[in-house]
Amino acid sequence: MAADESPGRVPDRFAPVVDAAASAARAGVARLPEPMERLLVPRTERDRERRRIAALCAPFLALAVVAGLYPLTEMARISVSEARYVSEGFSLAAYRELVANPHLRASALNTLWFALATTVVSLGVATATAHALEKYDLPFRGALLTLLSFPISLPGIVAAFMIIVLLGNSGLITNLIAWFSGRSAADLAIATSVGGLFVAYCYSMVPRALLLLRGSYAEVNERTEEAARSLGASPARTFYHVTLPQIKPGLIGAFILTVRTALAIFGTVLILQALRVWTYEIDYGLSNGFQIQLAAAMATVWFVFVLGFTTLGLRYTSAEVGL
């Protein structure tokens, strides 16, 4: 190494290249709009703070574009494509099929009423459970929280298998009821019926609602509840007039979250096959004749509905539920 080329220093023979690159970079930055220029070359502490925020958000934005915006755009293009295997031309035939096909209309109706019904039941169970966990000193509270949150980590296929093990022809609960009632286990099994699917949906949705509601209960002002009770209000009236208004944002947030969960469930439906819902129809369209335009149209309608539902719900609540 030459005497004038110390470690960490640019060798003199590369200095002109480095200076030229630096000058070109400065010239390029100078041509940018002022907000972008100040983001790249901050002048004040506020500019530096904005650059740090942009650097922290950049990985998520890149992921959102690559794994979100681009696939959704391509899905919408496929849904209006005239060709089957490439995105060419423009045709609304797939959307006309969605409107004209009575079977698909029935599936859409099944999806909506089933999602709303399971959401209402899940919210009721989750609200009562959150109330008990936050208001009472329950034994083995840590173990209870672990058991209650465990279904969140299970895929829908595993949840469906558990329902079969419990409520199928040879299920544990089915055979216990058969033993007490004297009826046949086959007559009592509901695993592959709408009732079994309903239980499987609630099994997956209650823990998600519980997470939000526990946070809402933790912020309830207990002094207002004690004041209401001291004035003679019953526990039910105290809950309705004092507690419920305070947990309302959490309830609305949990409602949005559980409805979206119900609309997105697929593995459970695929295994139990008790009801034809929208996600099942998307898979059916792809696996039977590769009707990719129709499947893409169904997926596009599903996304637009869920996005609109979430946006409308968040407009009327301060609950922090992401889009």
| Per-residue model confidence (pLDDT) at position 311 | 84
Rounded CA gap, 133 and 145, in Å?
9
| Per-residue model confidence (pLDDT) at position 323 | 42
C-alpha 216: how far from chain center: 19
- Report the share of the chain in percent with pLDDT over 70: 84
> Reduced to 3 states, what is the DSSP secondary structure of residue 155?
coil
The DSSP-derived string for 264-290 is: H--HHHHHH--S--HHHHHHHHHHTT-
Rounded CA gap, 140 and 134, in Å?
13
For residue 216, pLDDT over 50 is answered with: yes
For residue 194, pLDDT over 70 is answered with: yes
Residue 144 near residue 207, CB atoms below 8 Å:
no
> CA distances (Å), 162 to each of 65, 104, 156, in order?
37, 29, 10
| Per-residue model confidence (pLDDT) at position 113 | 94
Type of residue at 164? I
CATH topology classification for 95-315: MetI-like fold (1.10.3720)
Domain spans of the chain, in order of start: 16-79, 95-315
| Per-residue model confidence (pLDDT) at position 1 | 47
What mean pLDDT is predicted for residues 280-303? 89
Rounded CA gap, 93 and 297, in Å?
10
C-alpha 296: how far from chain center: 20
Rounded CA gap, 31 and 172, in Å?
72
For residue 138, pLDDT over 70 is answered with: yes
Helix-helix angle 93-100:292-315, to 10 degrees: 70
How many C-beta atoms lie closer than 10 Å to residue 241's C-beta? 13
Please, what is the average pLDDT of the chain? 83
CA-based nearest residue to 291, from 301, 281, 300: 281
Quote the pTM value: 0.77
Rounded CA gap, 86 and 292, in Å?
10
| Per-residue model confidence (pLDDT) at position 102 | 92
First to last CA, the chain: 58
Residue 303 near residue 72, CB atoms below 8 Å:
yes
Residues 6+ apart with CB under 8 A from 311: 323
Residue 217 near residue 130, CB atoms below 8 Å:
yes
Q: Could you tell me how many residues make up the chain? A: 323
What mean pLDDT is predicted for residues 124-150? 86
Rounded CA gap, 314 and 309, in Å?
9
Dump pLDDT digits (tens) for 225-249.
Answer: 888 888 888 888 888 888 888 888 8
| Per-residue model confidence (pLDDT) at position 110 | 93
